[in-house]
Structure 1
Amino acid sequence: MPAKRKSDSARYSYDGLDRVLHEKARLGLMTCLAGSPDGLTFGELKSLCNLTDGNLNRHLKQLAEAGLVSTRRDETGSRPQTICALTDSGRGRFLQYLAELQRVIGDAQKQMKTNAARSKGRLATE
């Protein structure tokens, strides 16, 4: 096996994939909130992400503890509601996370194209 070039060291470690965000439910919550600058109600998030009350509470708590999401009570309507929104910090971290995710996808596509070309070349020479 050929020695790796220094520039290839840890090339695919993807340290920017934030563990707090890199979970299916939290990724869905962040995506919903990213498109809703005024925030969404607890019920809207529950429906959009297909989560139970308990699951939604747990994930919102983790996101809030990380400073990514804020929650507030809105008592202006006929029923009080919890409104959830991205914090400025959360919006920035989510954009960084998405950029890293795009890098992962790009690297995977390049690798697959390279492997397909190699396979095609092998078949042509056999």
Structure 2
Amino acid sequence: MSRREAEEGRYAYEGLDRVIHEKARLGVLVALLARPRGLPFSELKRLCGLTDGNLSRHLAVLQEDGLIAMDKRLEANRSLTTCRLTSSGRKRFSDYLAALERVVKDAKEASAAASAPSRPSAA
């Protein structure tokens, strides 16, 4: 296999999941990652700097894709929604982070190669 064939698709980054990659959803997943029991909607809204409507829409997308689960219950006569990562969501997010780490590694290598002094060719 030639070098060119070996590098085909090298920078395609198929593991960068479009559902996760959106900025607000990425923030939601990071916030939920360290909290296996989940977070109340209001706390998630505060941590991610989102409005009620905006957060609701992003949570719906994540829930439809199986990344998160939402539990609703009454507490002191008020509705309390708690959001948490599902086990498949945690795995998918872990895979996404591995792909993102590859992007960062490739970018660092490309940057280092571009700034390295070029060697004069032997004549």
TM-score (norm 1): 0.88
Equivalence for 2:22? 23
Equivalence for 1:72? 71
After TM superposition, which residue ranges in structure 1, 4 or more long, deviate above 2 angstroms? 74-80
Q: Equivalences for 1:86-101 in 2 at 5 Å?
A: 86-101=85-100
Equivalence for 1:83? 82
Aligned-CA RMSD value? 1.5
1:73 CA drift (Å): 1.1
Equivalence for 1:5? 4
Equivalence for 1:52? 51
Count of residue pairs the alignment pairs up: 118
1:4 CA drift (Å): 6.0
Aligned residue type for 2:26: L
Unaligned runs of 5+ residues in structure 1 are none
Instruction: Return the alpha-carbon distance in structure 1 between the equivalents of residues 16 and 48 of structure 2.
Output: 21
Equivalence for 2:118? 121
Equivalence for 2:39? 40
Identical residues among aligned pairs (%): 50
Instruction: Return the alpha-carbon distance in structure 2 between the equivalents of residues 56 and 40 of structure 1.
Output: 13
Aligned residue type for 2:57: R
Q: Secondary structure at the match of 1:114?
A: helix
1:77 CA drift (Å): 4.5
Q: Secondary structure at the match of 1:71?
A: strand
1:76 CA drift (Å): 4.0
TM-score (norm 2): 0.90
1:102 CA drift (Å): 0.2
1:121 CA drift (Å): 3.4
Instruction: Return the alpha-carbon distance in structure 1 between the equivalents of residues 49 and 3 of structure 2.
Output: 44
Unaligned runs of 5+ residues in structure 2 are none
Instruction: Return the alpha-carbon distance in structure 1 between the equivalents of residues 87 and 31 of structure 2.
Output: 15
